Amino acid sequence: MSTPNDPELRDVAIITRVVERVFREMIRMLVGTMSLKKLQEMIQIIFVEEAEAKLKQESPGKNVALGDLALQTGVDTRTIKKTKAYIAVSNPIYQDDNFLDGFMPLFKVFDLWMNDERFFDMLNGKPRKLQIEGEGATFSGLVKAAIQSRGLTTQVVLKRLKEIGMVDVDSRAGTIVLKQEDNVFISKNDLDLLDVGFTAIGDLASTISHNIQNSQFEDAKYFQRGSWNYQFDPEKMDEVRKVIHSYLRETDIKSRELITSLAESQSQKGQYTAGISMFYFEEAP
């Protein structure tokens, strides 16, 4: 039986390992904010778009055959046709209401409770107090209207909403009240951190991609370096972080001054974005 140590699988194993590591770190940040279903949909759309762009770059002026796309993506041509048809008539993913709808099951529950007149009192501008069980304008009815996935029962949703402090439940009366009317599934602070974090990941990936494409042309490559050591005492890490952070803050000030001095003073259409990024990392044994 073949193993990753076999020569023909060694390269595949390396790629699998590094992709898994990157995806695992990204998914850790996404769990609870984006459903697996939506992530799969997004990856499929982007993969087809990028595969087609790569093939067009290899053969400028020629149409890309579905068979070639199937070979690049490992997806059958019928699925590729559906994906391309979606891409042709849709807005960018982040502006597509159909894609954003149901981004996370709890988002949909919250959205209906705050916007559907069956569950929201338009006159008072408040989410209604709901009976937990029953048909119609009850919490059970709300969950059924918001979520069609098997296994996501009223009790599962109720348990999670109680855990994160979104609702007050009167067990005697069998009622539930939405006590948090602002969407707190992603706090403003967390959303800002996710935006900054994924932007940095995207910038680093862009530099790596550029350097791979220009691996034979040293002068065309972007600067990309890292320095690390495997021999740090866990009990001394507070001091290590303090010293390194002080160094990086000083370097950051110089970098900002440099990047500002090189940029144009006026903003105009068609200008490039360029920057210098720095980050510190640790890995536990």
Report the share of the chain in percent with pLDDT over 70: 93
pTM for this model (two decimals)? 0.69
Domain range holding 195? 188-262
Strand segments, DSSP code E, in the chain are 120-121, 126-127, 130-131, 167-170, 175-178
Top pLDDT among 221 and 189 is at: 221
* Residue that terminates a domain, selected from 49, 75, 100: 100
279, part of any domain:
no
Q: What pLDDT does 54 receive?
A: 92
- Read off the pLDDT of each residue in 97-109 and give the average, rounded to a whole number: 77
User: Would the pLDDT of 47 be above 80?
Assistant: yes
User: Would the pLDDT of 1 be above 50?
Assistant: no
Which of 275, 159, 280 has its CA nearest to residue 222?
A: 275
Q: 227 and 161, same structural domain? A: no
Q: What pLDDT does 194 receive?
A: 80
* Residue that terminates a domain, selected from 100, 134, 149: 100
Q: Provide the token pair at 33.
A: 């904010």
- Read off the pLDDT of each residue in 194-201 and give the average, rounded to a whole number: 85
83, part of any domain:
yes
CATH number at residue 171: 1.10.10
Top pLDDT among 202 and 97 is at: 202
185/88 Cα distance (integer angstroms): 32
Q: Which amino acid is at 96?
A: D
User: 140 CB contacts (<8 Å, ≥6 apart)?
Assistant: 132, 133, 134, 154
Write down the mean pLDDT value for the chain: 87
Predicted confidence (pLDDT) per residue in 121-176, tens digit? 888 888 999 999 988 899 999 998 888 777 778 888 898 888 888 899 999 999 99
183, part of any domain:
no
146/165 Cα distance (integer angstroms): 20
- Read off the pLDDT of each residue in 231-245 and give the average, rounded to a whole number: 96
Q: 17 and 86, same structural domain? A: yes
CB-count burial class (<10 Å; 0-12, 13-18, 19+) for 166: buried
Q: What pLDDT does 123 receive?
A: 87
